[in-house]
Structure 1
Amino acid sequence: MVEDDDDKIIWGAKAIGQEIDRTERQTFHLLERGLLPATKVGDQWTSTRRRLRRMFGGEEAA
């Protein structure tokens, strides 16, 4: 099975912030408050482009 780029896991607040055009600190704040669709694995936050785009209206929800 070939993984779509939108489904690849984005690791860390810095990388997630780059996807949503926010600083690492801004992103970390949003993540800690539960305002972004992300999951914490160990001490790292993870998400996917698809989850982030759905939240911001860039893709219709499936």
Structure 2
Amino acid sequence: MDNEESLDLVWGAEAIAKVIARTPTQTHYLLRTGKLPAKQVGERWVASRRKLVSFFLEDAA
């Protein structure tokens, strides 16, 4: 993993919610049900900002 990828990470459900413009409640549901490209590390969620954006762009296309 290069530095660019590591800087692309979004840590925490609330931060992910801001990136995808959803409420924390909606985001927690999407994370728990596996509908977002994210992983749980301990008790925190982590996702690639690039993958989140791509996920929603593909869904809209």
TM-score (norm 1): 0.79
Which segments of structure 1 move beyond 4 Å, counting only runs of 4 or more? none
In the alignment, what sits opposite 2:9? 9
The equivalent of 2:39 in structure 1 is: 39
Q: Which runs of 5+ in 2 are unaligned?
A: none
The TM-score with structure 2 as length reference comes to 0.80
Give, in whole Å, the separation in 2 of the partners of 1:2 and 1:49: 14
Structure 1 unmatched ranges of 5 or more: none
Q: How many residues align?
A: 57
Question: Which is richer in helix?
Answer: 2
| RMSD, matched Cα | 2.0
